[in-house]
Amino acid sequence: MSQQHLVLLSVPGLRATDLAHMPRLSALVAGGQQATLTASFPALTCPVQANMTTGGTPADHGVIANGFFWRDRHEVEMWTAWNDCIEQPQIWERLAQYDSSLTSAVWFPLHSKGCQADTVCTPAPIHNPDGSESLWCYTKPTELYGELRDRLGHFPLQHFWGPAASIASTAWIADSAIVAMERFQPNFFYIYLPHLDYASQKHGPDSPEALTALTELDEVLGRIETGFAAGLGETKPLWLVASEYAVVPVDHVVYPNRVLRQAGLLAVQAGDDGEQLDFQSSQAWALADHQLAHVFVRDRDPEVVARVAEIFNHVEGIDEVLVGDGQAKYHLDHPRSGEVILVSSPNSWQAYYWWLDDRQAPGYARTVDIHRKPGYDPVELFYDPATGGIPLDASLVRGSHGTPVRLATQQGVLLSSEPAMFDGEELRDVDVASLVLRRFGIVE
């Protein structure tokens, strides 16, 4: 084995051009190697993380978006699926199978709760009977939580997403990872650092706010390097830095559920808390997720599938409509996928809204509530304390991601602190797992 410790930093939104504003990161990989990294479609957090850690595609591992619709229960699960939803072995499982002495730590990838790594930390808020929320994290081993709480305080979940999103959460992830490196010294350490996502989606990837985010993250990366050096002593780890995707500017939004409702295919239930999406009665509805949507058709009715496809073939902002065998083009031919998949144009994204009158919006639409909403809602970043709610104006969003990578501006970057880590100057997210495994002597 040529390398005792390897650290993989997963950084959504990182681009090659950003390195000019990140001197600490540049120094970390100086003398190493750089390549473009292309995210597979859908270029979303959970699918790309699964691609990088399994080497498979959504057709293989089953992570088809950031959320799932469980047809048998008529339930949507956004951001909360456990690790067992991934249907292929991940890097840490492969390492343990190859050599039981190889240890792994997994820090904050969004499906990490319940994963088989030796050491794990991921956000897991506890909802108390009185309605309050204990801001904490799930850890493995369980007692690690107490040590992290005593040394660092509770994980600042309120800064992980929403209007208060800031460097505080990413800094806590970094500091807690330093504690884990000191204590466990894992051979493989996978760390998710989400900070660049916030400003780039809210203000745009080239905004002054996004530039500030680069500087903030670079400082945290410097802390990680210093902390890991102290934890490992004279041993130097190999650093890999992988961009999950690049955020691109958007100036257009599509509301697929409103389109389906106006076509008479989507049903709602009116109540005291506004209109609720009726999964059982709807002939079709869309789970919108950044720049794509999975449209689920009741009983997979082929006539309705054909009608939905025909409707969206003529909707501005929709670049492709994938049906049947067409989903295999992007390796999304998995039973969890919708019967129709809508792919946005690069400048457009898709909002989950189904109401036609904002006065009929469900109560949670104006709140930061990522788990109850049947779709992704970046408008939560625009929560207004003056009004006590979220403006129901999806046109405010200035950046998004998810579409197939066809332009240089959509490409991420892969960095190595050592040369000769990979062949060529262009890699895909599914190549990352094999790079790590080969470094530990596992040849596929």
**pLDDT tens-digit readout, 365-395:** 999 888 889 999 999 999 988 887 899 999 9
Q: How many CA atoms lie within 13 A of 328 on its CB side?
A: 2
Where b means 16+ CB within 10 Å and e means fewer, 300-309 reads eeeebbebbb
Q: Are β-strands 318-323 and 284-289 bridged in parallel, bridged antiparallel, or unpaired?
A: unpaired
CA distance 253 to 329: 24
| pLDDT, tens only, 233-292 | 989 999 999 999 999 999 999 999 999 999 999 999 998 899 999 999 999 999 999 999
CA distance 405 to 425: 16
CA distance 145 to 410: 37
**Tokens matching residue 76:** 């949507």
pLDDT at residue number 16 = 97
Size of the chain, expressed as the number of residues it contains: 444
The residue with tokens 């992988």 is: 242
What one-character DSSP code corresponds to residue 389? B
For each of the chain's 444 residues, which pLDDT tens digit applies? 444 899 999 999 999 999 999 999 999 999 999 999 999 999 999 999 999 999 999 999 999 999 999 999 999 988 766 788 999 999 999 999 999 999 999 999 877 677 899 999 988 765 555 555 554 788 999 999 999 999 999 888 888 888 889 999 999 999 999 999 999 999 999 999 999 999 999 999 999 999 999 999 999 999 999 999 999 998 999 999 999 999 999 999 999 999 999 999 999 999 889 999 999 999 999 999 999 999 999 999 999 999 999 999 999 999 999 999 999 999 999 999 999 999 999 999 999 999 999 999 999 999 988 888 999 999 999 998 888 789 999 999 999 999 999 999 999 999 999 999 998 899 999 999 999 999 999 986
Positive or negative, the CA dihedral 10, 14, 17, 19 is: negative
CA distance 394 to 369: 16
Assign domain 252-397 to a CATH class: alpha beta
CA distance 244 to 40: 9
Provide the strand spans (E) within 258-302.
Answer: 268-271, 274-277, 284-289, 292-297
What one-character DSSP code corresponds to residue 128? P
CA distance 48 to 57: 9
Domain ranges for the chain, please list them. Answer: 6-246+405-439, 252-397
Provide the strand spans (E) within 18-160.
Answer: 33-38, 67-70, 75-78, 104-107, 119-123, 126-127, 133-134, 137-140
Looking at 3.40.720.10, 3.40.640.10, 3.30.110.40, 3.90.550.10, the CATH number of the domain 6-246+405-439 comes to 3.40.720.10
CA distance 331 to 64: 9
Find, among 128, 103, 78, 264, the residue nearest to 183 by Cα.
103
pLDDT at residue number 126 = 55
How many CB atoms within 10 Å of residue 166?
Answer: 17
Side chain identity at residue 441, one-letter code? G
The residue with tokens 């505080």 is: 168
Where b means 16+ CB within 10 Å and e means fewer, 88-124 reads bbbbbbbbbeeeeebbbbbbbbbbbbebebbbbbbbb
CA distance 79 to 46: 8
